[in-house]
Structure 1
Amino acid sequence: MFSAFVKYVGRSYHSHAEATKSAAASISDRSSRATSTGSAATADADKKSFSQVAVDTRKFLDAGYQKLGKVADAGTSDQEWHGAIRIQTLDRRALYAITTNHGGLFSATEVKAAKAEVASIEARASRAANPRGTDAAGAAKATITVLDGAGPEEKASLDWAQKRAAAQVQYQGLAKERHQGRAAVSVETDNPVVNHFVKAYGEAEKAKRYAQDGASIRVEDMPSWSKGVSLWKSLHEPQAKVLGHL
């Protein structure tokens, strides 16, 4: 029964296995960031405002284009992203600034490249924790570690909370299957939105037991999922409205 549930969670949580790989970046350079990106900023980068992070990241990309003799990012290859531009040296906040197109400073091509880089970080962490493909629980735990290493802006997003909950449920399920009778490593969080979503997965599993068509049960339809979304809105939408008037 739980094996079926793990598959159900898997459908709700995108796998990292198909993440974009760099054909040109060196193994040592790329593997050095198994759980987090290397930093191209100063030691006090985390003290910068997110808007300043976005501006600095824009300058960083433009400097890379200058090295390539380009004035735009059109047609930039993976080799160029990781060679001349060195997108892999950007920290997690900088990558998030690009993926969210903060301030409208980034192009669709740059957003796509940054999302691929984030996916690659997660995929490398999973492979490092499960090199032989025999420890899915370890790979899931590595995913949680990567997510927990996100910046404050990313952690405040609804997408992060949903991914964090799915990763937690997936890890706990896999660990329980593999180590029956032994408690899994604690991966709980004090984030109330995440906790609502985690509870929703339990509600979905319970609903599937009594439903004639278990496949029709969606975690997004569970009461705790709605509570999580409502709580997130109450915590973050007022801030967004205030910023919109500044």
Structure 2
Amino acid sequence: MAHDTGSSLTRIFAPAKPPAGAKAGTVGEAADAKPPVVVSLSASAPAAPAPAGAPAAKSFAEVTTDARAALDANLARMKESGRTLGMGANQGSQADIDAAFQGMDRRSLHAIASNSGGLFSKDEQAFAQTVMSQQLVEATGMDDPAGFQRDPARGFLAGVRFLDTVSAEEKASDNWRLNRAVAQTNYESSMTRDHPGEKAENVDSGDPVVNFLAQTIRSKEGTWTSVHDGSYVDDLSRITLFKDGTDASGLQKARQGAGTATRDAAARIDITL
């Protein structure tokens, strides 16, 4: 059954209520304005592996502390030049958002968006979520609606690949799992619709929760608008996909499976060391 591609992605990939005055880069807005790229990480340019002898990656707690310091420094520089992100009014222009989050990688943005350590305000979280959504919109090519519609499957696959490059902390979030499941199911559906006879790539993430979400979404093909309202997701059990409670037990089992997989991976690492 065909589904409304634009509707599903507007709701899944972009915040439902971006800060007033900000160009959030949603699919619906993309036809009117191309959102700028705030951070350099993209599907076409994944982070390069660390060279031999490079210092160990920072812990997420360190990333969080650094993100707080970087955001404070950026906001201070803006204030000195008479600019503000408008936190109190929940307003900010795209130029102000760019200035506030300049120099931050995706992991830092996730620390802010997820309010790691409880160090960030609701407005700061919302702006960081907007920037992350802009990155995903650009990765899929949906900032160019005409180009995207020429081959949606390719765009969705690029979205899958982009999401697969993010940090382990982000991959453990409910927001990532929902976006990943939607990108996957849209890719597979688009391949069936637009590339009959061609074999779709294997885009299984290996995450039990993502697999369960993908299965549930497929079972409700054609009802994308009831899947998710577009807000940043910090609890999958509260999204409308599960509002009738019929799949709640399945989600719980999938979470347990994800927890087991994580513990097994940690055990393997310990043995290797």
Q: Same fold by TM (over 0.5)?
A: yes
Higher relative contact order (CA 8 A, sep 6+): 2
Q: Which residue of 2 aligns with 1:177?
A: 193
The answer to whether the 8 A contact 1:37-1:89 is kept is no
Which residue is 1:13 aligned to? 12
Which of 49, 54, 62 is 2:64 aligned to? 54
1:230 alignment counterpart = 253
Does 1:35 pair with 2:58?
no
Per the alignment, do residues 8 and 197 of structure 1 end up closer, same or farther by CA in structure 2, a change over 3 Å counting? farther
Q: Distance in 2 between matches of 1:216 and 1:124?
A: 24
Secondary structure of the residue that 1:69 maps to in structure 2?
helix
Partners in 1 of 2:255 and 2:168 — Cα distance? Answer: 14
Give the unaligned 5+ runs of structure 2: 15-25, 228-239, 263-273
The yes-or-no answer on 1:66 pairing with 2:76 is yes
The CA deviation at 1:105 is: 1.1
Relative to total residues, which structure has the larger helix share, 1 or 2? 1
Task: State how far apart, in whole Å, the 2-side matches of 1:222 and 1:191 are.
Answer: 22
Q: Distance in 2 between matches of 1:34 and 1:229?
A: 32
Identify unmatched segments of 5+ residues in structure 1: 240-246
Which aligned pairs between 1:1-246 and structure 2 lie closer than 5 A?
Answer: 2-4=1-3, 13-14=12-13, 16-18=26-28, 32-35=40-43, 47-69=57-79, 73-74=85-86, 77-83=93-99, 85=100, 87-127=101-141, 132=147, 133-205=149-221, 219-220=241-242, 226-232=249-255, 235=258
Closer/same/farther in 2, CA of residues 17 and 157 from structure 1, 3 Å limit: same
> Given residue 116 of structure 2, which amino acid in structure 1 is its aligned partner?
H
Which residue in the other structure is 1:243 paired with? Answer: none
Q: Per the alignment, do residues 19 and 61 of structure 1 end up closer, same or farther by CA in structure 2, a change over 3 Å counting? A: farther
Instruction: Answer yes or no: is the 8 Å Cα contact 1:37–1:88 preserved in 2.
Output: no
Distance 2:152 2:135 in 1: 17
Deviation at 1:19, TM superposition (A): 6.6
TM-score by length of structure 2 reads 0.65
Q: Would you say how many aligned residue pairs link Structure 1 and Structure 2?
A: 223
Q: CA deviation at 1:32?
A: 4.9
Identity %: 26
Change (3 A) 1:77 1:144: same
Conservation of the 8 A alpha-carbon contact between 2:140 and 2:159: yes
What secondary structure, in the 3-state scheme, does the structure 1 residue paired with 2:199 have? coil
Contact 2:160 2:180 in 1 (8 A): yes
- One-letter code aligned to 2:64: A
SS in 2 for 1:13: helix
Q: Which amino acid is the alignment partner of residue 202 of structure 2? A: S
| 1:158–1:232 contact (8 Å) kept in structure 2 | no
Q: Distance in 2 between matches of 1:68 and 1:188?
A: 43
